[in-house]
């Protein structure tokens, strides 16, 4: 067996519609096919791949920041566009630059307390 990539992340939420709106309206994911599970939820896609699974729950969960699983990251292609969308949505974020790597980053915590890192790599020279 070999791991060939990250399949998806799962977020538990008491506010399914608002959580879905953040991921679709601000981060640009799209709603797609989801199995007929016996509980509420949505699968969100980047292109043809489901990358975020939202599960509707009745009780809020603990925040991710500072827990054993602190955050997850998305690669993005346009830092300034992401910044503008977060600003327009009134979302606070921490900008950062990875040392020695040419990666501009933003850390944003969505309404369920899940921290998401957005990474924009500098174009390769050549």
Which string of DSSP letters, residue by residue, matches 83-119?
HHHHHHTT--EEEEEETTTTEEEEEEE-TTS-EEEEE
pLDDT in tens, 62-92: 999 889 989 999 999 999 999 999 999 999 9
In a domain, 61, yes or no: yes
Whether 105 is in a domain gets the answer yes
Model pTM above 0.75: yes
For residue 57, what are its two tokens? 């729950």
Looking at residue 19, what DSSP letter applies? H
Q: Which domain holds residue 47?
A: 9-121
CATH number for 70? 3.10.180.10
Supply the mean pLDDT for the chain. Answer: 93
Structure tokens that stand for 112 in this block: 């369920």
Burial of 75 (0-12, 13-18, 19+ CB in 10 A): exposed
Count of structural domains, the chain: 1
Domain-embedded: residue 126: no
pLDDT confidence of residue 5: 87
Residue 50 vs residue 65, higher pLDDT: 50
Residue 40 banded pLDDT, cuts 50, 70, 90: very high
* 53-66 mean pLDDT: 93
The reply to whether 72 falls in a domain is yes
Q: How confident is the model at residue 106 (pLDDT cuts 50, 70, 90)?
A: very high
């Amino acid at each position: 067996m070999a791991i060939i990539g990250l399949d998806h992340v799962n977020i538990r939420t008491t506010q399914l519609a608002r959580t879905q709106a953040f991921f679709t309206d601000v981060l640009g994911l799209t709603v797609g096919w989801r199995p007929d599970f016996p509980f509420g939820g949505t699968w969100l896609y980047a292109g043809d791949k489901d990358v975020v699974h939202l599960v509707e729950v009745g009780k809020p969960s603990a925040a991710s920041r500072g827990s054993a699983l602190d955050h997850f990251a998305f690669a993005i292609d346009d830092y300034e566009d992401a910044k503008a969308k977060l600003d327009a949505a009134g979302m606070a974020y921490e900008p950062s630059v990875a040392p020695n790597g040419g990666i501009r980053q933003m850390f944003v915590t969505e309404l369920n307390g899940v921290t998401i890192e957005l990474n924009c790599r500098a174009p390769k020279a050549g």
